[in-house]
Amino acid sequence: MLGRTLTLLYALVAYALFLATFVYAVGFVGGFLTPTRRDGLADGPTAAAVAIDLGLLALFAIQHSGMARPRFKRWLTRYVPQPAERATYVLLSSLALAALFAFWQPAGGVVWEVRGEAARAAVYALAAAGWLTVLATTFLIHHFDPFGLRQAWLYFRGTEYTPLAFATPWPYRLVRHPLYVGWLVAFWAAPTMTAAHLLFAAGTTAYILAAIRWEERDLMAGHPEYAAYRRRVPMLVPRLAGRPR
């Protein structure tokens, strides 16, 4: 019973760290209320700042996608109990993001700037919609399973874990990855786009497009019906005319 309790507490700590990181990310990307800066004048050579920022993005991408692969999960569960595997992934992803926030280097320069209070407010509203989309879509696919709490809770109760069935709630009938759509909107909706923000948005976009390919390969291996779903529903941009087939 002690092991089950410790596993549940471990998952709760990992989830709490994720929530703190998510809230911090909203401020960091939006450029407000965070002690570390995404934007501003470069503290040193611009090339050095860009190199550091790219390295931080690469570190997060390697951790986030590498640990999500089935082969790595099988290796990890040789050392981490199966009910704590997902919580460990969430914990390390949050730490990788925290490192990005802590060591990110401003690069100076403004690429574009939206003029007018109403126009700027509209862009901020669009960014807020992106963040809300990210959060809302996790609840549509059982919020607590991707973050490891469901696994730890079932283990605590002595109940065998069963994977979630393949399902397509409403947004998933418009696009296959509404969660990533939310991230992209949140990252690109900036009334003032600085060089550092552009680097961040472009880097995360490239990673998301690559991650979708790896993720869908795993989904087709785990869910035979995903191949038909993939043919039927667009990836990120909804169809503007006509009904889905």
Asked whether residue 245 carries a pLDDT value surpassing 90, the answer given is no
Chain segment 112-162, per-residue pLDDT in tens: 999 999 999 999 999 999 999 999 999 998 889 999 999 999 999 999 998
Asked whether residue 54 carries a pLDDT value surpassing 70, the answer given is yes
Chain segment 71-89, per-residue pLDDT in tens: 999 999 999 999 999 999 9
Predicted local distance difference test score (pLDDT) of residue 241: 61
Q: Which residue has the higher pLDDT, 21 or 40?
A: 21
Chain segment 224-239, per-residue pLDDT in tens: 999 999 999 999 999 8
CB burial readout 42-69, b (16+ within 10 A) else e: beeebeebbeebeebbeebbebbbebbe
Q: What is the rounded average pLDDT for all residues in the chain?
A: 92
Q: With contact defined as beta carbons under 8 Å apart, do 182 and 137 qualify?
A: yes
Q: Domain locations in the chain?
A: 2-232
- For residue 89, give both structure tokens: 């992934």
Chain centroid to Cα 9, Å, comes to: 23
Q: With contact defined as beta carbons under 8 Å apart, do 148 and 15 qualify?
A: yes
Chain segment 157-179, per-residue pLDDT in tens: 999 998 888 888 989 999 999 99
Predicted local distance difference test score (pLDDT) of residue 243: 54
Q: Give the mean pLDDT of 178-183.
A: 96
Q: Which residue has the higher pLDDT, 97 or 36?
A: 97
